[in-house]
Amino acid sequence: MPEGDTILRTARTLHRALAGHVVTRFESVYPQLTRVDADTPLRGRTIERVEARGKHVLMWFAGDLVLRTHMRMQGSWHIYRPGERWQRPRHEMRIVIETDAIHAIAFNVPGAELAAASEIERGPALSTLGPDVLSDDFDASDAARRISERNVTIADALLDQSAIAGIGNIYKCEALFAAKVHPFALVGSLSPETIARVVAAAAKMMRANVADAASGAMTARRTTGRADRRARFWVYGRRGQPCRRCGTPITRDAGTDARVTYWCRRCQPTSLE
């Protein structure tokens, strides 16, 4: 599942390409979308804005309609000029939104909803989200409180979108390393200060990786702050390689739902308090 920074970049790219333009054609393989379009056509509506909410992309149309999409593991949005060849096969197309200048295509998007804004906001997909790490009004204290109420490991709690929205497996591993917290420690065994430290580490890393997104610049995701592309991460994807802090070989474990966790046994010991 994409990290929140990927979703934010996607939303900002779509916004730059589509905001202010009028829809000239809409197509979808999903009956639930085409039914709404048949009753309240998207054609002729102006695309007002596109924004990210956790791991959801929200496209707002004039007349109080919103398209919500979720990428899961395989989904993606592409933008093309009219007549430009798609980079993915047509059978992977799920949604097409065309304007005179840009065609936006959603490929392999498994989750999509088109409804009035109020209905989207009240729906379970958005109403249950925790504080969004990358939102301008991110409430770190609320996120830490929600995490503290989970009866799971801290690694699982960070991926619970109803506790804190936007964190994926990469930032889970990297934030826990930065905060020197054992990934499989039960939330109940951690102090409020430790949980707050993990939240702060995740927010700092994710925000650093979208600082250039507003200008459209695309850089490789990194958490170490190092320019070397070979040294982008502290622990993620580095099984058996030496820890960048202490030299201990990085450990890789599969947690619940086969979510892989990378961590350092010396820098993230079992006893932390």
Catalytic residue among 9, 12, 53, 55: 55
Q: Which residues contact 97 (CB under 8 A, 6 or more apart)?
A: 18, 23, 25, 26, 42, 47, 59, 67, 103, 104, 105
SS3 208: helix
Whether 70 contacts 84, CB under 8 Å:
no
The verdict on whether 110 is a catalytic residue reads: no
Catalytic residue among 45, 49, 204, 259: 259
**How buried is residue 1: exposed, middle or buried, by Cβ count under 10 Å (0-12/13-18/19+)?**
middle
Catalytic residue among 2, 150, 232, 238: 2
The verdict on whether 239 is a catalytic residue reads: no
SS3 45: coil
The verdict on whether 3 is a catalytic residue reads: yes
Neighbouring CB atoms inside 10 A of 169's CB total 18
Whether 251 contacts 264, CB under 8 Å:
yes
The verdict on whether 259 is a catalytic residue reads: yes
Catalytic residue among 3, 98, 113, 174: 3
| Catalytic residue list | 2-3, 55, 259
